[in-house]
Structure 1
Amino acid sequence: MLDLNFPKFSFRFKNSENKVSIFDVIRKKFIVLQPEEWVRQHCVHYLIEVKNYPISLINVEKELKVNDLKKRYDIVVFNTDGSIKLIVECKAPKIKISQDTFDQIARYNLTLNADYLMVTNGINHYYCKMDFEAEHYQFLRDIPEYSQQ
């Protein structure tokens, strides 16, 4: 797989029926390794190992309803009170991050009300802090480290 713009992480792999799978520490199972999954797993390890987010507060690939449509988010990080701190939208490295990508995560956030948004294709990462009163997001250099606050 392609080297991504993340630190080097240690992953567990398995080969079965000529398909390579990667172990997801959140879902606690092997997932077939596709380009988007490669990005998602790097992002999960980045949140845990670099930003110190507890595994217990991270959720991966769950369904949500947006305007009666079933959608799936890539990664959500919760606050300890159950509110959502961060939504991450992962794309395959060959997918260019565009306004459409931000529109997608913004639609998800109408339902989820996260404080922070992250969009990544593994090469380029974009981070935003929501300003709900002004109804816009502010770009950041990085997402904050986890804290109990």
Structure 2
Amino acid sequence: MTTESALRVLLGGALIGLAAAIALIAHGRIAGISGTLGRALDGDDDDGRPVRLAFLVGLVATGVIGAQLVPGAFGANVAGIAQLAIAGLLVGVGTTLGNGCTSGHGVCGISRGSRRSFVAVAVFMATAMVTATIRGAL
């Protein structure tokens, strides 16, 4: 890893931490993406829906803009659309079963010292390693 790439990783991590802190301080909620998406689509809390939708649109827009500004930053996508759809479905099922995702448990939960989040992150990291190993062997 070069010094430049290490600085980019450090800056990216700091920005993620800052965004999580702002969400907690400004809104009193952790920045869990799966929960934000679920509540945005649920419709029970119409007052918070515009903020949640803006947050989600911002996440997608930032990725699109970043890909345009730094084309090689995201790597090549070698998966087909069917494979991506299946992966998305499995991630959705996993976040439902785990009651959260990597942003909620990994970024916000661990930083708050949540035991449940430590367990959740250990489970989905182990699952990711097994999946990558199996997929690499196929």
- TM-score (ref. length: structure 1): 0.27
Bigger proportion of residues as strand: 1
Alignment TM-score, normalising by the size of structure 2: 0.29
Higher RCO (C-alpha 8 Å, min separation 6): 2
